[in-house]
A = this chain, B = another copy of it.
Amino acid sequence: MERGNATVGDLDKARGLVWAAGPADFPQLPESIEWVQLSSAGIEEFFAAGVIDHHPDVQFTSAAAIFAPTVAEHALALLLAGVRYLPEQILADSWRQQEFLPHIGTLRGSTVTIIGAGGIGRALIPMLAALGAHVIAVSRSGRPVPGAVETLPVNRLGEIWSRTDHVVVAAPATPATKHLIGAEELAALRSTSWVINIARGSLIDTDALVDALASNSIGGAGLDVTDPEPLPDGHPLWALPNAIVTPHDSNPPQRRVAAFADHVAANVARFSSGQDLIAKVDRNSGY
């Protein structure tokens, strides 16, 4: 290990292990091992395979939230592209200044609602704050999220649609979040509102979104995830000028390696100096 003030050595003398594979080949750990860093954000397979229960005295850490900044950056890129009317401008082949000027919006002073206050949502807040946007966070509990001017519990989500300028979907896909945004919610948004989805396609009713985009009842949509996914050839979203579709590429492989390396280095440094580790696995909650 060249970073984090540790050395790489044999497993049977090591205090920590960085395991970058799945649970299948997980080794028998010597007693010297106090800590295991896993390389995925979701580690349900390690629980299922008994790896974690089999080592009750080992502190496991996951890669939870380490990819959040790159996904949040993608969300911001999509939102800014929408607010700055870039899709139409990128397609243009002549100087249409007078036509475009009225469509140039700004995030400064705008209200952006982030649905979901996990790693991605929390990473996005300071980016939006730096642009002068007011962030409303929506979480299950409604406990105040740092940097948000207001945090609402999800049971008050209905208040959002008429109050916000833009919406970023960053919540997990569960039966409860399916079609969280449908025709009614879209109808309550503004004609300049952009809806960004970097979470899962199922959270938005695609047919209702297509209708809203086609009728310009909202400003546009920036989608890194779709329903269905992959989005089939000929789907209306491909042709709508106010829809930006990126094919689930907000967290590219080359970024994952770099982000994981940063995470390992940070945890190695913490482990060496006896500090609390990042992304500790909680045996009770299962993640």
| A residues in contact (CB < 8 Å) with B | 69-70, 73-74, 76-78, 80-81, 83-84, 86-87, 89-97, 100-102, 104, 106-109, 126-127, 129-132, 230-233, 238-239, 244-250, 252-255, 258
Contacts and interface: CB of A to CB of B under 8 A. Distances in A.
A191 to B, nearest CB: 14
B130 A97 contact: no
Stoichiometry, copies per complex? 2
A93 B100 CA distance: 24
B104 A252 contact: yes
Contact of A244 (B89, B94, B230): B89
A83 B131 CA distance: 18
A73 B244 contact: no
20 contacts: A69-B106, A69-B132, A70-B106, A73-B107, A76-B80, A77-B77, A77-B83, A77-B86, A78-B86, A80-B80, A80-B81, A89-B247, A90-B90, A92-B245, A92-B247, A95-B231, A97-B230, A97-B247, A104-B250, A127-B131
Given A70-B106, A107-B73, A132-B69, A249 B92 contact: no
Given A73-B106, A81-B77, A92-B245, A253 B101 contact: yes
A246 B100 contact: yes
Contacts of A101: 249, 252-253
A106 to B, nearest CB: 5
Given A83-B77, A100-B249, A106-B73, A244 B90 contact: yes
A84 B94 CA distance: 24
A247 B86 CA distance: 11
Contact of A258 (B76, B109, B129): B109
